[in-house]
Amino acid sequence: MNTVPVYRCRRTASTETEVATVTDFPLVPTRTALINVDMQRCFVEGSPLASPDGLALVDRINQLAAVCRDAGIVIVHTRGWMSPDGSNLGVMGELVPPFIVDLYTEGAASAELHDALEVAAADVVLNKPRYGAFHGTDLETILKSRGIDTAIISGIATNICCDTTAREAAQRDFRVFFLSDGTATKEMNGVPADELQRDTCASLGMVFAQIATIDEIIEKIRDLSGGTGNTHSQNEAASV
């Protein structure tokens, strides 16, 4: 299969020249991971960190993850996970109030993955000490040891942990699909959530990622499998 990105082009009316506008990465299931960022209770509902779209997003991610598992795509669920003694807090402790950090500290019920999120036995659960899923974790080793070169990014919050993870992946030469409707955020510093969502996708789509919808990713997967996913056994639990 061709692994070189294909560019869909448009012809501008003013110059009659073709310019590349949208990257169309190949998606090979056996070389792809869905990185589902921080779908924890505190980010989904019932806390100052929660996205208003959190519960609806859980349903959409569950739908996508089921298709991915059937196609043999690795699923990684990350958790923001601070040490109870604060030993890995660093400068974050100067920026984020303690009552907020407590929400995603190891041992807090609010730090656990949301109850409605479907986590299969073979899914990887990855604890991370910072906003990006690669920093201070074994994620790059986990992915590259499985031959993975493509990442689909979903989760909360679009403009913080999802954005940082997408940039980290791109800088490590992973092809990145960033889901415009598979990520969500909340109002921050007076900026509405929809503006943050739009602006994050706009900047990532310039040089870091291909912006896609959940339906577009599902269509790509099903096109490769003739309309149905290839079922793979999910027998081993993995937690790191």
In a domain, residue 21? The reply is: no
CB–CB of 227/220 below 8 Å? Answer: no
Span 57-64, average pLDDT:
98
State the CATH number of the domain containing residue 175.
3.40.50.850
Question: What is the C-alpha separation between 125 and 79, in angstroms, rounded?
Answer: 8
Quickly state the pLDDT bin for 7 (edges 50, 70, 90): very low
In a domain, residue 14? The reply is: no
DSSP H stretches of helix in 32-158: 41-44, 54-71, 92-95, 98-101, 139-145
In a domain, residue 70? The reply is: yes
How would you class 169 by CB atoms within 10 Å of its CB: exposed for 0-12, middle for 13-18, buried for 19 or more? buried
Q: Decide: helix, strand or coil at residue 31.
A: helix
Beta carbons within 10 angstroms of residue 85's beta carbon: 9
In a domain, residue 205? The reply is: yes
Q: Structure pTM?
A: 0.87
- Count the domains in the chain: 1
Quickly state the pLDDT bin for 228 (edges 50, 70, 90): low
Residue ranges making up the domain that contains 195:
26-239
In a domain, residue 19? The reply is: no
Question: What is the C-alpha separation between 77 and 119, in angstroms, rounded?
Answer: 8
